[in-house]
Every structure is written in structure tokens, then in C-alpha cells.
Amino acid sequence: MATVSTQSAPMLRRIGWQGNLPTLPAGHLLARVSAQHRAGYEVHGGEHVFNAQPAPKFLKRNVDPAERPAVGDFVIVEAGAPPHIVEVLPRRSVLQRAAAGDRYARQIIASNIDVVFVLTGLDGDFNPTRIERYLALIEGSGARTAVVLTKRDLAESGSADTAMAELRARLPADTSIVAINGKDASSVAALNGFLAPATTAVLVGSSGAGKSTLTNTLLGQDRMATAATRAGDDHGRHTTTHRALLPLPCGACLIDTPGMRELKLTGDENLELFADIDALAERCRFADCSHATEPGCAIREALAEGSLDHERWRHYQKLHDQREEQATRFEDRIRGAREPIRTHRHRDWQERE
């Protein structure tokens, strides 16, 4: 027998629910996955966090991992000892990457998100090509993007402005770019416009970029462990070990993620951040121009005159080839092939950016 949920609208908005209250069977409630562990899940019902186990249907070997509960999912939980997640509600947005390994699979980073904060430190962590790779993954997620340059307090005079200018020259004009001191609440206030009540933001970036520090400032308390970056390379020490969803005092939700060493494209990316390069290619004399030796190549002309940056062109080629390879792997999986496709093209595509 279906009953109207006794959970209130303010209670569910606290965990990022956007919409009407659901009608649920007796003994069931709406919750959101806040963390995943080997032993099960932590879910938030709007008032408190509790443990829940996945229903047996999610544990079958032939189930696509993307169909299992993930951090950020809204789920229906059936009361019991222990409670069980029996349904994953449709996702309004999904941020995912290709999982590590030879066999093609996709890994959900976070779901039901409204904005992705791409964090990079104004130190040895600053890497425009890695930021471009994040943006390529995010563009099809259904969420907005904001690039957040952290550690402004540690940066040399003028370096923040220089970094922002470099990114504005490489990234689409509508990309939000903010430089902050993650330890200073007044500096972090620059992000408030992205954190309206019932919205969900996810933090991504390499270890040591300042995700946990920013999380603590947004929470107003030291809840996430932090550690100094290693001397010499500015790399972090993985103080965040699992994805976690946290309600913020402002009414928004935040998902903190561990630093990701590998950012593999899924094969679905449109690479819209390189739309200007695609437009240039359309001006080549030959439709199948390889941009190598053909006459009338608009790409080579732009490279020669300096209107197209050589490094950005090389990175576009690399991401384009990786996307095509991943798309082929995905098609191979759909056909049911047992062996992964192997290629000798760009064998360094899994390297860190």
C-alpha cells in the first residue's frame, strides 16, 4: 500500500532533493547515498546518516556497475535489520570516467550534481592540460563547471592573475574561474553563488589541491582530515580516502572526492571546449585533411601564425584519439566481445597529465 512520505520538504532539500515529495510504500523512505564502503553504504535520510545494504539484485555478477547505487544517488530504502536499498531513482546528472583496467567499464564519480568545482593549486599542481581533461569529462554530465584555483595565499605576487589569464585564453569564454584561499571564509565566499539551497556541488582535483581544506571552510568546522603537500613535488597525501556527501550550513550539499591519479575518457565526450579547433578544421581545403602535409590546411596555417597554440593542439589530438579508442572499446563491449581491443596507437594515453 502506497503512502505519502512522512519526510518533510525542508528535510529532503537538506540532502539536495529537488521536486515534489514522493509517494512510497509503507516501511520505505527516500534517502541519499552519502558514502560507499566495502561493507555497504551510508545513506542520509534528511535528519541523520545510517547504514544500509544493497538489495540482492544489485549484487548479481552480470549487473552493470553503473546501475548500482553510487554516491549522490537518491534511493528508496526499505526498513529492516539492516535497512536495504531497493531502488535507485533516475539520475538528473552523472559525472563518470572510464574505470582503470583493460576491460571497458565506467565508474560513477558522483550523481545528481549541479556544479563541479575543479580544484588546482597555485603551486606545482597547476596544470592547464589536466584542467582541460576534467572539463572534457564534465561537459556531458549535466552539471556546470567552475575552475577553482586554490592556495592563493601561498602564491607569488601576480601568479594568480597570470594563471587565470592563461586559462581564459585556453578555455571556453563562459567557463567560471575563481582564485581563493581555501582557509579563509571571506575568500571562499566567492563560491556562494554556486551553492544555493538544495543544490549539490562536487569537488574534483589531484591530491593536495585543497579539497579537504575547502570542505572544512564551507562546513565551518574541521571535519575532513588535511595534510601538507610533499616537499619538492607539491603532491598531496590522499587525506580523502572515499567519496562523501556532506550537507552544508548554507543549505547546499557537497561531495568531496579522493584525488584521482587517472582520468580516462568514456568515449562519449564531445570535446566542446575545443569547438574553435573543430571550426578551424572545417575550413581546411580537404574534408579528410590529416593536418600534416595537405595544402590549404587551416590548422597548420593557424599554428604557423600563432593563433592556435601548439601545446593546446597537441592536447586536442591526444584527447581526440583517446576518445575514439574508448568509443571503440565501448562498442566492443556492446557486441559482447570477450577480449578487449588492443592498439599500438598512443600507448601513453593513460599517463598522468
Name the CATH superfamily housing domain 272-334: Probable gtpase engc; domain 3 (1.10.40.50)
Residue tagged 579537504 (cell numbers) = 212
Per-domain residue ranges for the chain? 2-90, 95-256, 272-334
**Nearest of 239, 188, 237 to residue 212 by alpha carbon:** 239
* Cell, residue 336: 559482447
Which pLDDT score, from 0 to 100, does residue 333 have? 76
| DSSP codes of every residue in 21-75 | PPEEETTEEEEEEEEEETTEEEEE-SS-EEEEEE-GGGG-TTS-GGGS--TT-EE
CATH number of 95-256: 3.40.50.300
What pTM does this model have?
A: 0.85
- Contact between 78 and 109 under an 8 Å Cβ cutoff? The reply is no
What parts of the chain have a pLDDT lower than 70?
A: 1-6, 222-242, 259-261, 336-353
Side-chain half-sphere exposure of 128, counting CA atoms within 13 A: 20
Third-level CATH fold of 2-90 = OB fold (Dihydrolipoamide Acetyltransferase, E2P) (2.40.50)
List pLDDT tens digits, range 206-258: 888 889 999 999 999 765 555 454 444 444 444 444 678 999 999 999 999 87
List pLDDT tens digits, range 97-117: 988 777 788 889 999 999 999
List pLDDT tens digits, range 236-250: 444 444 678 999 999
Rounded-to-integer distance, Cα 338 and Cα 232, Å: 44
Rounded-to-integer distance, Cα 216 and Cα 219, Å: 5
Rounded-to-integer distance, Cα 96 and Cα 73, Å: 13
Which pLDDT score, from 0 to 100, does residue 17 have? 96
| Spacing of C-alpha 100 from chain mean position | 16
Which pLDDT score, from 0 to 100, does residue 265 have? 92
Query: How far is the CA of 212 from the CAs of 225, 227, 239, in angstroms?
Result: 7, 9, 7
- 2-90 and 95-256, same CATH topology: no
Rounded-to-integer distance, Cα 266 and Cα 108, Å: 11
Which pLDDT score, from 0 to 100, does residue 234 have? 47
Rounded-to-integer distance, Cα 208 and Cα 259, Å: 8
- Contact between 145 and 172 under an 8 Å Cβ cutoff? The reply is no
- Contact between 247 and 195 under an 8 Å Cβ cutoff? The reply is no
Residue 108 CB neighbour total at 10 angstroms: 22
